[in-house]
Amino acid sequence: MSLLLPSRPIVVIPELAMRVGLNEAMLLQQVHYWATETTSGIEHDGRRWVYNTIAEWMEQFPFLSESSIKRAFASLKAQGVIYVEKLSSDPRDKTNFYAINYAHHVLSHEVKLTSCNGSNCTDATGQNEPMQKVKMRRCNG
């Protein structure tokens, strides 16, 4: 059995991953897919909003932990690349809806990438989590 494209692949443009981060680029591409290639989601304020629970995002990205997915969405929101809102009229419904800010400068071809030089690099110490706290699925293979 081959692992080469037996199912729908997750495709990421390397330049986008360099601009927003790899996990962020994968999630952003998936939000774009759901917003443009399917009939899922809703129209609100002139944007297409899509939603999934964290468990549903984990099904689409079984190689990412729950906390990695949450961090990536928080990063995309902080960068201004996506909008995140709770659009339900039911106050008990805490479902996050996501829409892409297609006008954001990092999604255009004109942005010049800069390299990271020590003093202005992001500190990645918060990325490593104790294994007993990470919520990931067990590999059945």
**Residue 25, in any domain of the structure:** yes
Q: What is the 3-state secondary structure (H, E, C) of the chain?
A: CCCCCCCCCCCCCHHHHHHHCHHHHHHHHHHHHHHHCCCCCEEECCEEEEECCHHHHHHHCCCCCHHHHHHHHHHHHHHCCEEEECCCCCCCCCCCEEEECCCCHHHCCCCCCCCCCHHHCCCCHHHCCCCCCCCCCCCCC
**Which residues span the domain enclosing 109?**
14-115
**Residue 131, in any domain of the structure:** no
CATH at 51: 1.10.10.10
Write the pLDDT tens digit of every residue in 35-87: 988 788 889 998 999 998 899 999 999 999 999 999 999 999 999 999 999 98
Write the pLDDT tens digit of every residue in 96-122: 999 999 999 999 876 454 555 544 455
**Residue 127, in any domain of the structure:** no
**Residue 8, in any domain of the structure:** no
